[in-house]
Amino acid sequence: VQFLSITLKRVGFGVVLLFIVLILNFFLMHLAPGDIADTIAIDAGGADEEMMDAIRKDYGLDLPVWQQLLKYLAKVAVLDLGYSFYYNISVTDL
């Protein structure tokens, strides 16, 4: 009984810690200057504001931050880690 109690506490602590790390990761990425639209525009040799807005809409960057966070957590929960532009394949296939 004591072993089960200790194990459940550790698993619970691990889940809470993972959740905190995911949220911290999300907000640290949002604090970085620029976004994926800037990176895509630079790689394409430049883009006008209309194209930048379309890229931001495609990636959900036009949504409120709380919606972006929920979308991020939902995708991580099903191991949908996105797409690697460097390797041109899904991140889970790397």
- Same domain, yes or no, for 44 and 27? no
pLDDT in tens, the chain (94 residues): 799 999 999 999 999 999 999 999 999 999 988 888 888 887 777 778 888 888 889 888 999 999 999 999 999 999 998 888 778 888 888 8
Cβ–Cβ under 8 Å, residues 55 and 40 = yes
State the pLDDT at residue 32: 87
Rounded-to-integer distance, Cα 2 and Cα 61, Å: 47
Q: Which residues contact 62 (CB under 8 A, 6 or more apart)?
A: 53, 56
- Same domain, yes or no, for 3 and 17? yes
- Same domain, yes or no, for 41 and 56? yes
pTM of the model: 0.78
- Same domain, yes or no, for 25 and 43? no
Q: Domain limits at 26?
A: 1-32
Q: Return the bridge partners of 89, or none.
A: 84
- Same domain, yes or no, for 41 and 27? no
How far separated are the first and last CA of the chain, in Å rounded?
42
State the pLDDT at residue 40: 80
Q: How many domains does the chain have?
A: 3
- Same domain, yes or no, for 28 and 5? yes
Count CA within 13 A, CB hemisphere, residue 75: 16
